[in-house]
Amino acid sequence: MIRLILQIWESFKEYIILVLLIITGLVIISVNNKPAVKQVRAFAFATFAASTSFISDVINISGIKSDNERLRERNAELMLQINRLREYGIVNAQLKGMIGIKDTTQLPLFPASVVAKSLSRSQGVLTINAGTQDGVRIGMPVINDQGLVGIVYSTSDRFAIVRTLKNMDLKLTVKDERSRIDGIMKWTGSELVIIDVPKTYDVEPGDRIITSDLSTVVAVPLPIGIVTGLSNVRTGIFNEITVKPFVNFEAVDYVFVVGLVQSKQKNELELNFYNR
């Protein structure tokens, strides 16, 4: 018997090892969301992120000059825009005061720089150099000057992992800024789409997509992208709306974490797609 086993081992050892290692990999995938595994991962990425932050700082320095010029120009544009919005704000506050609607509170922003990027086709992930010590919590949205970058997925003391919009595990409730229609947006591996939008809904190419007030993950309107087209138009009763994100994920260097946490009360009442 032992001889037979040894014979089989000798003949097929490469395959036996391959199968055993793949089974181990599958077991590891199945325990991905266990707290102990999450702790190990947080420790591993935090330890490593400390060294990558130094290297990424060196790489980023070369781009600072051109960034500065671009930001100065953007600053000037925003200054003009703020002036106009300030006027609207005053009128808005007066009107809201007249009809008694509560105003939205200001949200704190935690600055951070990206120290590592793992941008595979399906699992876009960034590591940023701000963690729980800086006030960053799991579930907080991450933005840059172009729009929503992603959501904080895991944190350590000094670092955090951010799932970008180009991550198949991140689904968000979004809305069309013009027609106010809500939908669920996800990354398919090749494009951002808003799924299962009834064909009767008014969505057109060129519409801006922002996060929806209905979202329990990001309940403030943050820009996401622009509608580039409708797919699945001829068959079925639903459209898939393709969205081109404002953010260039390959070029993200500096971000802000928005100090906004998911509403537990809201979560208890509604489905939270982020946790699914």
Q: Please report, as ranges, the residues that interact with other proteins according to CB under 8 A.
A: 13-14, 17-18, 21-22, 24-30, 32, 37, 40-41, 44-45, 48, 51-52, 55-56, 59, 115-123, 125, 127, 153-154, 161, 166, 168-169, 188-190, 249-250
| Cα 83 from Cα 4, distance rounded (Å) | 84
Q: Which is nearer to other proteins, 169 or 182 (CB)?
A: 169
Rounded to the nearest whole angstrom, what is the least distance from the CB of residue 38 to other proteins in the complex?
A: 9
Rounded to the nearest whole angstrom, what is the least distance from the CB of residue 121 to other proteins in the complex?
A: 5
| Cα 241 from Cα 227, distance rounded (Å) | 7
Q: Which is nearer to other proteins, 234 or 264 (CB)?
A: 234
Q: Which is nearer to other proteins, 33 or 106 (CB)?
A: 33
Can you tell me which residue has the tokens 């003949």?
11
Rounded to the nearest whole angstrom, what is the least distance from the CB of residue 5 to other proteins in the complex?
A: 18
Rounded to the nearest whole angstrom, what is the least distance from the CB of residue 103 to other proteins in the complex?
A: 37
| Cα 211 from Cα 217, distance rounded (Å) | 9
Q: Which is nearer to other proteins, 182 or 253 (CB)?
A: 253
The C-alpha torsion from 108 through 222 and 105 to 163, rounded to 10°, is -40
Burial degree of 244 (CB within 10 A; 0-12, 13-18, 19+): middle
| Cα 109 from Cα 149, distance rounded (Å) | 14
CA 264 to chain centre: 20
Rounded to the nearest whole angstrom, what is the least distance from the CB of residue 20 to other proteins in the complex?
A: 9
